[in-house]
Amino acid sequence: MNAPAVGGAFLVSQVGAYAANGFARRLSRLRLKPHDAGILRMLGSNPGLTQQALSKIMGVFPSQLVGLIDGLEERRLIERRSSPKDRRRYQLHLTNAGRKTLTEIGKVTLQLEDDLFTALNQRELDFFCQLLRRIVAQKQITPGVHPAYKQLGRR
């Protein structure tokens, strides 16, 4: 069977779907979904973000984010703390369990990348990532935030 000729957008879509499915499958072993991992990663890099700031960064409706935060808080992965500047606002912080889970997410990510990029040597992978970062910047995609967050609660 001859494969039809396809362009770069289709190829990126194929690889992206493979990566997204592989990430979700690996995260399920930790009882997490990809959106949980993204929130934990963002809070690991930006401790003390308010719910409002996180909502804006992630592109998620505040009401939708509250439910996601509640689930992570119930699992004791994050905690809400009153803001010292405005007690009506909550700042979000990882707990010890959240930091350990973030370490596990990092391991899952490395396993996925090892699987996904076995066909490339390190120089090729570095160049490929450089090209993708250029596209992300040119398209003004928020670095480190998956565009799928904008779809949460809108389906």
Domain boundaries, the chain: 10-150
Burial of 21 (0-12, 13-18, 19+ CB in 10 A): exposed
Q: How far apart are CA 64 and CA 46, in angstroms?
A: 20
CB atoms within 10 A of CB 54: 20
CB 101 within 8 A of CB 30: yes
Q: What confidence category does residue 154 fall into, taking pLDDT thresholds of 50, 70 and 90?
A: low
DSSP secondary structure of 29-70 = TTT--HHHHHHHHHHHHSTTEEHHHHHHHHT--HHHHHHHHH
Q: How far apart are CA 51 and CA 91, in angstroms?
A: 7
User: CA quadruple 72, 136, 155, 108: dihedral positive or negative?
Assistant: negative
Is it the case that residue 4 has pLDDT exceeding 90? no
From 116, 136, 138, 117, select the one nearest 126 (Cα to Cα): 117
In this predicted model, which residue has the larger pLDDT, 76 or 4?
76
Pairing of strands 90-94, 78-82: antiparallel
What is the pLDDT averaged over residues 90-116?
Answer: 97
Percent of the chain at pLDDT above 70?
Answer: 97
pLDDT at 134: 96
Please report, as a single letter, which amino acid is at residue 103. Answer: T
Classify domain 10-150 at the CATH class level.
mainly alpha
What is the pLDDT averaged over residues 82-99?
Answer: 90
Mean pLDDT score across all residues of the chain: 92
Q: What's the whole-model pTM score?
A: 0.86
What is the pLDDT averaged over residues 28-48?
Answer: 95
